[in-house]
Amino acid sequence: MRPAERLRAEAVTLAYGRRVVAENLTAVVPDGGFTVIVGPNACGKSTLLRALARLLPPRAGQVVLDGRSIASQPTKAVARQIGLLPQSSIAPPGIAVEDLVARGRYPHQSLLRRSLERDRTAVARAMAATGVSDLAEQVVDELSGGQRQRVWIAMALAQDTEIILLDEPTTFLDIAHQVEVLELLARLNRQGKTVVAVLHDLNQAARYASHLIVMADGQQVACGPPAAILTEDLISRVFGLPCLVMPDPVTGAPLVIPRSAERLGPIA
Amino acid sequence: MNRLRRRRAALQLALGLAGLGLAVIALGLGDYPLTPAQVLAALTGQETGFAHTVVVDWRAPRVAVALVFGAALAVSGALFQSLTRNPLGSPDVIGLSTGSYTGALVAVAWLGSGRLATGGGALIGGLVTAGLVYALARRDGAQGFRLIVVGIGVTAMLHAFNLFLLMRLREEVAMTAAIWGAGSIGLIGWDQAGPAIVALALIAPLVVACAPGLRQLELGDDAAGGHGLKVEPTRLAILALGAGLTAIVTASAGPIAFISLAAPQIAQRLTRSAATPLLASALLGGLGLLAADLVAQFALPVAAPTGAVTVVLGGAYLVDLMIREARRLR
Ligand SMILES: Nc1ncnc2c1ncn2[C@@H]1O[C@H](COP(=O)(O)OP(=O)(O)O)[C@@H](O)[C@H]1O
Ligand SMILES: [Mg+2]
């Protein structure tokens, strides 16, 4: 038997107050994989990601990191293993790029112990990997959307974690910048990082994911390699969208082509 | 070091020097004027006669109190504004000073009008109000805007209650309370300034320790939590520190408006920095309160309470802020 994955959610119930988003949800994050989570709006993708990052304690069940419940591990210790790029972050007005990226170093710092040298190296490496080194002294508010997104990713990279979770890293970007971000994530994945991203575009998901998680209404409806699970039937059930699935002529990954703009409504 | 940080460092140095310079001038002003050279001689102990008494025993408490209380109010404002992400989210706007006044009035009405009663009542009143606003605004974590709206509502209610109490007090007691309520640092000697300054000095390292957490919270709760910050305990600790700073100052000197509202915003504009810079705010707050106190003592036909001057200056600042906002929105 091969060893269990480092990070997984085991039968978790996730809720905000009285609003229960997911019940008895189990999902695994394959080590070294590029996991993509897709699903209709409000089905609980961000909620799952927040639970995996220890931001939302499960009402029942547990999130397990390295064989132990994540809730029993110190927040900073978890933050040295798992990085998160939330769906919306706030750039403090007037902050310089390198200063924002440096804030990702927080889990490695404490009042008494702080390695300036290691911080500097990690920040420089993160900015180089995302191609924002030249922007180091620029003010974040004044950057273009694509540049700003790369800066946020750099902040998550400066955290220097083996696992990185990204919530809709391509939303609000034009197609060229979307591909740029996805290629960056794919490169990080090839260099050994475990990547988990929430994406909206099924074709991009199919193309970049090694492991696809399809969610609907708080449940994992399907998971596995995109080519194995992305079928016309699944897409019409989950998104209520009749479509044609054929091999992408460029990559061979499944290509989803909607048949009609008219939606049949969500699954019952 | 990048250009923004260089600018901030230079500005902090300039503000610090300006504060020291103004302090030396202030120590020489009064019925027994002294030159800066004489002041320095008295401070360093080269001069031990009457000038020493005037500078060290009579004038120094007031100058020290202006610098330290101004800094404390400004840092309190910076903490609150940074947490609420709103220039209006300062402790005086969300009711802490009004709550301190309520505490002082209650103490005076039922416990007697000693300084200890007013001070203790004000301290408790301010902290209780802070707790009340936090509890009312809390739901899945206190969010900035809700904190301000709840705070403004609580302020209005406490204000009405304060008037009601003032009406019911005996006339001479009401006078004492109203003088305290105008906010003045002139009546404080070393015996009262000492404990307050010590208390503020004890809070200062805690603020420094919380600063990295504050910087994380500026990124949004999820980003901060993702970096391993314990979001809600940190927010509560910062609120408690900010409330403590304002409550200690108000308990000793009465409500002094607008320093905590204006100093962090002006500091931010001057440094062009990310959110509210704590050190620059503190330096600017000390400088601002000292300047306001000098105006209150010497620039007016009759000496006025310091609080009255900060209200006028602060009112001008608020008008300016609103005109800017209106222009920006147009
Ligand atoms: N803080 C919150 N309080 C209450 N309900 C929430 C909160 N955040 C999200 N929800 C609800 O939880 C459901 C799932 O949200 P989310 O995980 O953000 O969906 P997705 O990311 O898949 O679009 C939605 O119905 C949303 O309204
Ligand atoms: Mg989402």
Q: Which of A98, A107, A136 sits opposite B228 (nearest CB)?
A: A107
Structure tokens at A28: 């695994």
Q: Which ligand 1 atom is at minimum distance from the Cα of A48?
A: 17
> pLDDT class for A130, splitting at 50, 70, 90?
very high
pLDDT computed for residue B195 by the predictor: 87
Q: Report d(CA B243, CA B96) in Å as an integer.
A: 7
* pLDDT at A195 exceeding the cut of 60: yes
Q: Does B276 touch chain A (CB under 8 A)?
A: no
**In this structure, how many other beta carbons lie within 10 angstroms of the beta carbon of residue A177?**
17
Site from A45, A48, A82, A103 to mutate, B interface, most B CB atoms within 10 angstroms: A103
Q: Report d(CA A226, CA B130) in Å as an integer.
A: 53
Answer for the pair B85, B214: CB distance below 8 angstroms, yes or no: no
**In this structure, how many other beta carbons lie within 10 angstroms of the beta carbon of residue B112?**
11
* pLDDT at A1 exceeding the cut of 50: no
Q: Which of A50, A90, A98 sits opposite B219 (nearest CB)?
A: A90
- Say whether A224 sits in a helix, a strand or coil: strand
Helix spans in chain B (H): 3-28, 36-44, 50-52, 60-84, 96-111, 115-137, 144-168, 171-182, 190-217, 221-226, 231-253, 259-271, 278-294, 306-329
Q: Which of A74, A75, A84 sits opposite B222 (nearest CB)?
A: A84
Average of per-residue pLDDT across B226-255: 91
Long-range contacts of B14-22 (CB under 8 A, 24+ apart): B15/B280, B15/B283, B15/B284, B15/B287, B16/B283, B18/B287, B19/B67, B19/B283, B19/B286, B19/B287, B19/B290, B22/B287, B22/B290, B22/B291, B22/B294
- List pLDDT tens digits, range A225-248: 999 999 999 999 999 888 999 998
- List pLDDT tens digits, range B272-295: 766 678 999 999 999 999 999 998
Given the structure tokens 């009262």, which residue do they identify?
Answer: B192
A19-29 sheet: strands from edge to edge: A19-29, A7-16, A60-65, A68-69
Q: Report d(CA A191, CA A126) in Å as an integer.
A: 13
- Say whether A59 sits in a helix, a strand or coil: coil
- Say whether A176 sits in a helix, a strand or coil: helix
- Residues sharing a CB contact under 8 Å with residue A102, sequence separation 6 or more, in sequence order: A119, A123, A158
* pLDDT at A32 exceeding the cut of 80: yes
pLDDT computed for residue B142 by the predictor: 53
Q: Report d(CA A219, CA A21) in Å as an integer.
A: 9
- Ligand 1 lined by A21 (C-beta under 6 Å): yes
Given the structure tokens 């302020």, which residue do they identify?
Answer: B155
Residue B50 DSSP symbol: H
Q: What pairs with residue A195 in β-bridges?
A: A34, A164
State how many domains chain B has: 1
Q: Report d(CA B54, CA B34) in Å as an integer.
A: 10
* pLDDT at A129 exceeding the cut of 80: yes
β-pairing verdict for A194-198 and A34-38: parallel
β-pairing verdict for A163-167 and A82-85: parallel
- Residues sharing a CB contact under 8 Å with residue A73, sequence separation 6 or more, in sequence order: A54, A65
Average of per-residue pLDDT across B102-107: 89
Q: Which ligand is nearest to the CA of A86?
A: 2
Q: Report d(CA A147, CA A127) in Å as an integer.
A: 11
Q: Report d(CA B241, CA B171) in Å as an integer.
A: 36
> pLDDT class for B217, splitting at 50, 70, 90?
very high
Structure tokens at B159: 């204000």
Average of per-residue pLDDT across B70-74: 96
Average of per-residue pLDDT across A67-96: 92
β-pairing verdict for A60-65 and A68-69: antiparallel
pLDDT computed for residue B54 by the predictor: 87
Q: Does B233 touch chain A (CB under 8 A)?
A: no
Average of per-residue pLDDT across B75-102: 88
Most confident by average pLDDT, A54-63, B153-162, B165-174, B250-259: A54-63
Please indicate whether, in this complex, the C-beta atoms of B218 and A89 are within 8 angstroms of each other. no
Query: Which amino acid is it at B168?
Result: R
Residue of the CA atom closest to atom 7 of ligand 1: A16
| Domain range for B300 | 2-329
Q: Report d(CA A265, CA B225) in Å as an integer.
A: 36
Average of per-residue pLDDT across B169-177: 80
Q: Write down the mean pLDDT value for chain A.
A: 91
Q: Which residue has the higher pLDDT, A262 or A176?
A: A176
Spacing of C-alpha B236 from chain mean position: 19
> pLDDT class for B190, splitting at 50, 70, 90?
confident
Q: What percent of chain A has pLDDT over 70?
A: 95
pLDDT computed for residue B65 by the predictor: 93
- A86 CA distance to ligand 2 centroid (A)? 9
* pLDDT at B41 exceeding the cut of 60: yes
Residue A139 DSSP symbol: B
- Residues sharing a CB contact under 8 Å with residue B61, sequence separation 6 or more, in sequence order: B188, B189, B190, B193
- A201 CA distance to ligand 2 centroid (A)? 13
pLDDT computed for residue A71 by the predictor: 94
Dihedral angle sign, alpha carbons of residues A229, A230, A232, A236: positive
Q: Report d(CA B80, CA A127) in Å as an integer.
A: 32
- List pLDDT tens digits, range A6-26: 999 999 999 998 999 999 999
Which residues of chain A does B5 touch, with a Cβ-Cβ cutoff of 8 Å? 96, 99
Angle of CA points B161, B165, B168, to nearest 5°: 145
Answer for the pair B213, B229: CB distance below 8 angstroms, yes or no: yes
Backbone angles phi, psi at A253, to 5 degrees: -70, 160
Q: Does B1 touch chain A (CB under 8 A)?
A: no
Answer for the pair B126, B165: CB distance below 8 angstroms, yes or no: no
Q: Report d(CA A166, CA B96) in Å as an integer.
A: 40
DSSP B56-100: IIIIHHHHHHHHHHHHHHHHHHHHHHHHHTSTT--TTTTTHHHHH
pLDDT computed for residue A268 by the predictor: 45
pTM: 0.87
The CATH number linked to B241 is 1.10.3470.10
pLDDT computed for residue B99 by the predictor: 92
Q: Which ligand is nearest to the CA of A217?
A: 1
